[in-house]
Amino acid sequence: MMLTVTLNAALDLTYRVPALTPHTTHRVTEVIERPGGKGVNVARVLAALGHEVTVTGFAGGGTGRVLRERLADEPRVTVAFAPVAGATRRTVAVADAATGDTTQLNEPGPTVTPAEWAAFLDTYEALVHRPGTTAVALCGSLPPGVPVGAYALLVRAARAAHVPVLLDTSGEPLRRAVAARPDIIKPNADELAELTGFHEPVRATRDARRRGAHAVVASLGADGLFALTPDGGWQARPPAPVRGNPTGAGDSAVAGLLSGLAEGLPWPDRLARAVALSAATVAAPAAGEFDRTTYEDLLTRVAVTGRPAAA
């Protein structure tokens, strides 16, 4: 059983329009409503791959109720959200059919009280110490009221339970949590540069490892993933750009990395899976989903280059 943590979960709404034009009225041709937030998207992809997964974090208000109900209908997903008095946020993606581009609007999320945060920590401790928990992913932004060092605390708790942990966040929460020595961090190029001050991927990933990350996997957009690990360094590239909605592509990459970690796959295989899932998500209609035919085709054609560390 894998565990994903989404402290700032969301209900994702995708509006499709023929063309997005500022300062005009638009007729929406399709509306898609899905459970969302980075860790929720990761969980849905893991479940689609056949893994049992538990989702936790905060959920509250009418939006939180819908989020719980939608996730409860997902096969192989167990819902373990802690309650919060405020309403779970919504995100709105406006997909432009003419250009293929997507405009994203993200609400800030509910304010979490100290008592609600303490109650969540009890829930999290029980989940990471539960027999059968194989890996945990800590994903996304922090809602208002949650301490900036929250992820550092959650990484330490997972390590104390001897459960490998992957961290996907940014800014000061990432900076503090790296010092807690997560097994994997997965920043994008901008987040990695903000953390380290370096824009060159090899130098930046080396610096991030010096700061405490056991392994660093950097998202490089159309250039795929670059990983620096104790076992070596590799870059995985998709065979060609994929047109579509990039929302959730990074979350699918996290699902690929987390499942590969739990299964003990070699790093090149983990990276190939992550890149193929990410690209297949771009081709799918909504975050947390992927086109299986596209995924299986890409998995055989992802180019992974690099070398293992010297013995």
What pLDDT, in 10s, does the model give residues 114-170?
A: 999 999 999 999 999 999 999 999 999 999 999 999 999 999 999 999 999 999 999
Percentage of the chain modeled with pLDDT above 90: 83
pTM given for the model: 0.92
Report helix, strand or coil for 11. Answer: strand
Residue 233 near residue 215 (C-beta atoms within 8 A) = no
Whether residue 253 contacts residue 274, with contact meaning beta carbons closer than 8 Å, is answered with yes
Q: Cβ-count burial of 41 within 10 angstroms (0-12 exposed, 13-18 middle, 19+ buried)?
A: buried
Give the pLDDT score at 284. 76
Contact 236, 302 (CB under 8 A): yes
Contact 107, 89 (CB under 8 A): yes
| Cα separation, 26 vs 133, whole angstroms | 46
From the candidates 12, 183, 251, 291, give the one annotated as an active-site residue.
251
Question: SS3 of 151, please?
Answer: helix
**C-alpha span between 11 and 295 (Å, rounded):** 25
Interval 220-230: pLDDT, tens: 988 899 999 99
Q: Is 291 a catalytic residue?
A: no
In a structure prediction context, what are the per-residue pLDDT tens digits for the chain, which is 311 residues long?
999 999 999 998 889 999 999 999 999 999 988 899 999 999 999 999 999 999 999 999 999 999 999 999 999 999 999 999 999 999 998 989 998 788 889 988 999 999 999 999 999 999 999 999 999 999 999 999 999 999 999 999 999 999 999 999 999 999 999 999 999 999 999 999 999 999 999 999 999 999 999 999 999 988 899 999 999 999 999 988 777 767 788 999 999 999 999 899 999 999 999 999 999 988 776 667 888 888 999 999 999 999 887 54
